[in-house]
């Protein structure tokens, strides 16, 4: 059953990624056709074609490698002086498809009679921008719709009054041995919590008749009651149970306000003699629905966080390489490949991530939706980078064309003509090569050293 659930999570991501790519390309396709540009292909994926069908002048299809997509528009680049009349260079909105096109020496496509004015490069600047921004904007809309649904129907995680048992120690271990001793010997004394029958997942309602409102209340009420019988009321499966425990004196490591264990200058635990129960507790998490008015602020926060990750990709890729080929750990806030996203989804549906599912965890389906929202935000931000072969590179070329024409008009000079973005093809080759290397490295790292969400 666990394997089946894992595969269902992976399948959800595969379908979600495919849908996101397909809608991204529709974001390019619809305005391109609306503005009269001839679109010869609409493809989801790369590599060998699995299925295709021609409707009108456009071939629609699905390819074998679901790592992107593209539409093919004639006349992406203006002709150079000396080009054969009636021919135009072609390219596409897909990153890897562009690399293939340019590797074949910018293969030429004959423009049929009547298509001379249906080329992309002849569009006005604002229409070029609309066509090229259509894809990223579609990803942004997908993310906003998903996040709006999550916020308004499910809510955001909010700490509730009370405390929940995260773990129960079976035996009493001195603080000096806590970091190294992982199993209990037969003659090790049992902890009061273990003896009393307290279980992980129990909600602590009260200790010694005092209600528990925060996790800190548990320690405050236990520490001074060494050797005293204490009633601990827990709620388990919706039913309250009164358990009796007798805290013992033990050396425990002190923790800071944020729950971090404290150590001295030499790295040794800072301990104190105090009452000891043998449980660690955490906050009770509830999910509170938000109004639609909260959506813009939340989306803005997620967008800024995503942009921060994208801007730091070169720096973070160093950490990815160190983790993949060394002993380092993956940064949970670092970049992942589609393989990594699929693995997270599978772990979530299979119950392998402690804070997903169960009484105190996020609903697995909501987690999957949030993954899709994050992925689409990342696609939105990444495609806005003003470098070919990304959509932002074509937008930058169109804006530069408009700027040059504007200056020419102000100075009463002749129209400088269309900007030849093909001159930036060396940059496109370099960027495409870097993207391929990054993708391979991320996929490898996600296979051998995946990001752990078990914290």
* Look-up of token digits 């078990």: 454
Contact 249, 228 (CB under 8 A): no
* Look-up of token digits 């890729």: 317
Contact 147, 299 (CB under 8 A): yes
Measured between alpha carbons, how far is 135 from 391 in angstroms, rounded to an integer?
Answer: 8
Nearest to 90, CA basis, from 354, 338, 447, 105: 105
Concerning whether 57 is annotated as a catalytic residue, the answer is no
Q: Which of 25, 102, 203, 401 is catalytic?
A: 25
Q: Is the backbone peptide bond immediately before 389 cis, with ω within 30 degrees of 0?
A: yes
What is the bridge-based pairing of β-strands 279-288 and 230-236? unpaired
Contact 169, 193 (CB under 8 A): yes
**Alpha carbons within 13 A on the beta-carbon side of 1:** 1
Measured between alpha carbons, how far is 333 from 132 in angstroms, rounded to an integer?
Answer: 29
Which residues have CB under 8 Å from 341's CB, separation 6+? Answer: 13, 17, 371, 375
CA dihedral in degrees (439, 442, 446, 452; nearest 10)?
-140
So which residues are the catalytic ones?
A: 25
């Amino acid at each position: 059953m666990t394997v089946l659930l894992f595969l269902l999570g992976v399948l959800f991501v595969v379908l979600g990624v495919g849908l996101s790519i397909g809608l991204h390309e529709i974001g390019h396709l619809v305005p391109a056709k609306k503005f009269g540009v001839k679109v010869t292909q609409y493809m989801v994926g790369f590599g060998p074609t699995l299925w295709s069908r021609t409707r009108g002048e456009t071939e629609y299809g699905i390819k074998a490698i679901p790592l992107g997509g593209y539409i093919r528009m004639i006349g992406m680049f203006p002709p150079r002086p000396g080009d054969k009349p009636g021919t135009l260079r072609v390219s596409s909105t897909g990153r890897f498809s562009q690399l293939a096109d340019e590797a074949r020496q910018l293969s030429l496509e004959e423009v049929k009679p009547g298509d001379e004015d249906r080329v992309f490069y002849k569009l006005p600047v604002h229409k070029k921008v609309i066509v090229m921004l259509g894809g990223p904007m579609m990803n942004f809309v997908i993310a906003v719709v998903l996040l709006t649904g999550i916020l308004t129907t499910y809510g955001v995680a909010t700490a509730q009054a009370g405390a929940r048992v995260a773990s129960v120690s079976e035996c009493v271990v001195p603080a000096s041995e806590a970091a190294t001793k992982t199993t209990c010997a037969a003659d090790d004394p049992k902890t009061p919590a273990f003896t009393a029958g307290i279980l992980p997942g129990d909600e602590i309602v009260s200790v010694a008749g005092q209600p528990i409102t925060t996790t800190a209340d548990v320690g405050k009420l236990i520490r001074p009651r060494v050797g005293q019988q204490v009633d601990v009321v827990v709620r388990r499966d919706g039913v309250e149970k009164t358990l009796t425990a007798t805290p013992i004196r033990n050396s425990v490591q002190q923790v800071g306000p944020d729950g971090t264990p404290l150590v001295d200058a030499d790295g040794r635990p800072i301990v104190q003699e105090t009452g000891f129960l043998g449980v660690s507790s955490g906050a009770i998490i509830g999910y509170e629905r938000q109004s639609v008015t909260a959506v813009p602020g939340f989306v803005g926060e997620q967008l800024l966080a995503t942009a921060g990750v994208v801007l730091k990709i070169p720096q973070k890729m160093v950490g990815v390489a160190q983790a993949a080929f060394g002993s380092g750990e993956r940064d949970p806030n670092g970049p992942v490949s589609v393989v990594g996203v699929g693995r997270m989804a599978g772990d979530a549906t299979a119950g392998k991530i402690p804070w997903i599912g169960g009484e105190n965890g996020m609903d697995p389906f909501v987690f999957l939706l949030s993954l899709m929202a994050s992925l689409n935000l990342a696609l939105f931000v990444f495609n806005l980078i003003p470098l070919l072969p990304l959509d932002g590179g074509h937008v930058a070329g169109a804006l530069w064309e408009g700027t040059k024409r504007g200056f020419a008009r102000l100075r009463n000079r002749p129209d400088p003509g269309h900007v030849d973005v093909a001159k930036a093809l060396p940059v496109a080759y370099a960027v495409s090569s870097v993207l391929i290397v990054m993708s391979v490295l991320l996929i490898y790292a996600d296979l051998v050293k995946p990001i752990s969400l078990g914290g």
